[in-house]
């Protein structure tokens, strides 16, 4: 099969409306499943979450000056505290914690703006950033594999799902083949693969249209409004500090993929996430965060234009906020279809981490680099795929955050030979020169 050289559409590039529409739909559908799952698990309204993801992404693009291509969807880190508060004090009380979590983002953004971002180069050298990227991608592998190959019985047990595995395989290979094509097909391989997987699922009788039939064409979602509760604030808001670590990892991953140094824009990026979370909490939605799924889409398509994210956000706003039938139609996509696509998207994030090792000339002959990468990757991936987190009172530190903190500690403690220090400075200089170019 002939390999086509795909066009690279840069962050500031613009495409025609006829191309922007399918590219925007592709991003919206990639985030849809995870964004809907969080409100389903917490008891919040899924359509509100979809709508707020669109509004939040628009806020993020405005705050960052349209310079960082990212999509914001529901954050999984807040599920446990929201469920606890919802069961004891009510979901409206939990929303007050969501709003304050957004204010925590803004406070951290303000502090970083005052102290600068030069400390990031010391705390997060290329070997650590690349390792965290691998953790982000591979850490999601269990989720993708479960979606692709397993089904859940009414009693809660899981089992291998043969037909689902076939559907996932068809979707996965379709995405790979489409991504190798040229022209428009090569820029929307995920969307085309989802459509093909959906058609095959339809032929196999796996699509249930009842919810689509029952949904109205036009209607507003069920908004909720926060009721102030100090207990909810104390339990929910501090989780934002954990998500800050996740946010930094995602921002560095985006920068590596698009070829830009986004470290100086970290305060703006965090502020955009904070405003998005505040808005979501005010309307009755969950906290938001940047999405790995959409980072994977950028990696496979090489389309980085922020214009496309405006379209994605607009579609989410309309689908979640005005048209329940369209939202129900998208939710009718069988899980194995999204699992097949996710296997590719999450794998590409990990692959970009491996590429970063190469492009930054990380020397694995140096014991220091070898130790940091080994511990961060195995600790992070092991915890993420096993569902293990470190309990901190009423909170829990997930695998990615734990491995990042351990990596930072190792980077500060392990001695750096003078020759290795020179290599590090040269690598950082080369990276910055490449980003400027």
Residue with tokens 């919810």: 211
Pick the more confident residue, 41 or 407: 407
What is the pLDDT averaged over residues 378-391?
A: 91
Q: Which of 79-83, 88-92, 353-357, 423-427 has the lowest mean pLDDT?
A: 423-427
Share of the chain above pLDDT 70, in %: 93
Q: Which of 96-100, 293-297, 421-425 has the lowest mean pLDDT?
A: 421-425
- Band the pLDDT of 436: cuts 50, 70, 90: very low
**Average predicted confidence (pLDDT) for the chain:** 88
What is the pLDDT averaged over residues 144-161?
A: 86
- Band the pLDDT of 251: cuts 50, 70, 90: very high
Q: In this predicted structure, what is the pLDDT of residue 400?
A: 85
Best mean pLDDT range from 85-89, 102-106, 361-365: 102-106
4 vs 327: CA distance, rounded Å? 35
Say if residues 7 and 302 touch (Cβ distance below 8 Å): yes
CA angle 247, 281, 288 (to 5 degrees): 20
285 vs 44: CA distance, rounded Å? 7
- Band the pLDDT of 1: cuts 50, 70, 90: very low
Both tokens assigned to 217: 């064409």
pLDDT at position 202 over 80: yes
SS3 74: strand
Q: How many CB atoms lie within 10 A of CB 23?
A: 25
Both tokens assigned to 74: 């529901």
Q: How many CB atoms lie within 10 A of CB 5?
A: 7
What is the pLDDT averaged over residues 254-262?
A: 91
Residue with tokens 């991936």: 381
Best mean pLDDT range from 282-286, 294-298, 350-354, 358-362: 282-286
Say if residues 117 and 263 touch (Cβ distance below 8 Å): yes
pLDDT at position 216 over 80: yes
CA angle 32, 33, 36 (to 5 degrees): 80
Say if residues 50 and 35 touch (Cβ distance below 8 Å): yes
Pick the more confident residue, 106 or 80: 106
What is the pLDDT averaged over residues 160-176?
A: 93
Q: Which of 64-78, 227-241, 255-269 has the lowest mean pLDDT?
A: 227-241
Q: Which of 2-11, 121-130, 194-203 has the lowest mean pLDDT?
A: 2-11
Residue with tokens 């693969």: 193
Say if residues 126 and 298 touch (Cβ distance below 8 Å): no
Best mean pLDDT range from 348-352, 376-380, 401-405: 376-380
Nearest to 47 by CA among 62, 31, 61, 35: 35
Query: What's the residue count for the chain?
Result: 437
Q: How many CB atoms lie within 10 A of CB 303?
A: 25
Phi, psi for 308 (deg, rounded to 5): -65, -35
pTM of the model as a whole: 0.83
- Tens digit of each residue's pLDDT (9 = 90 or more) over 291-312: 988 998 998 889 999 999 999 9
């Amino acid at each position: 099969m002939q390999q086509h050289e795909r066009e690279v559409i840069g962050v500031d590039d613009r495409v025609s409306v006829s191309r922007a529409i399918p590219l925007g739909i592709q991003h919206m559908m990639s985030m849809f499943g995870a964004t809907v799952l969080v409100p389903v698990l917490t008891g919040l309204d899924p359509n509100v979450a979809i709508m707020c993801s669109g509004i939040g992404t628009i806020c993020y693009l405005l705050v960052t000056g349209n310079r960082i291509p990212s999509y914001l969807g529901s954050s999984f880190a807040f599920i446990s505290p929201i469920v606890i508060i919802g069961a004891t004090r009510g979901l409206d009380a939990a929303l007050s914690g969501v709003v304050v979590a957004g204010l925590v983002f803004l406070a951290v953004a303000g502090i970083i703006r005052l102290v600068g971002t030069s400390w990031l180069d010391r705390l997060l050298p290329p070997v650590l950033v690349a390792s965290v990227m691998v953790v982000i991608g591979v850490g999601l592998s269990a989720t993708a594999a479960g979606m692709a190959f397993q089904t859940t019985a009414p009693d809660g047990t899981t089992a291998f799902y043969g037909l689902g595995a076939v559907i996932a395989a068809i979707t996965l290979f379709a995405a790979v083949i489409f991504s190798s094509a040229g022209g428009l097909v090569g820029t929307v391989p995920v969307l085309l693969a989802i459509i093909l997987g959906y058609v095959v699922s339809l032929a196999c009788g796996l699509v249930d249209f009842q919810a689509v039939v029952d949904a109205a064409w036009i209607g507003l979602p069920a908004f909720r409004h926060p009721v102030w509760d100090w207990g909810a604030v104390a339990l929910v808001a501090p989780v934002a500090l954990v998500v800050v670590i996740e946010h930094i990892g995602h921002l560095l991953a985006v920068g590596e993929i698009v070829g830009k140094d986004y470290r100086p824009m970290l305060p703006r990026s965090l502020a955009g996430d904070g405003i998005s979370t505040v808005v979501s909490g005010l309307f009755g939605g969950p906290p938001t965060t940047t999405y790995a799924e959409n980072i994977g889409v950028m990696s496979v398509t090489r389309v980085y234009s922020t214009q496309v994210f405006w379209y994605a956000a607009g579609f989410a706003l309309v689908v979640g906020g005005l048209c329940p039938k369209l939202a129900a139609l998208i939710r009718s996509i069988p899980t194995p279809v999204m699992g097949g696509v996710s296997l590719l998207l999450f794998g590409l994030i990990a692959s970009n981490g491996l590429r970063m090792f190469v492009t930054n000339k990380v020397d694995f002959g140096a014991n220091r680099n070898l130790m940091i990468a080994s511990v961060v990757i195995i600790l992070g991936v092991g915890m993420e795929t096993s569902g293990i987190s470190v309990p901190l009172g009423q909170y829990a530190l997930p695998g990615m955050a734990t491995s990042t903190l351990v990596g930072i500690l190792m980077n500060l403690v392990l001695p750096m030979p003078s020759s290795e220090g020179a290599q590090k400075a040269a690598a950082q200089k080369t990276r910055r020169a490449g980003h400027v170019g």
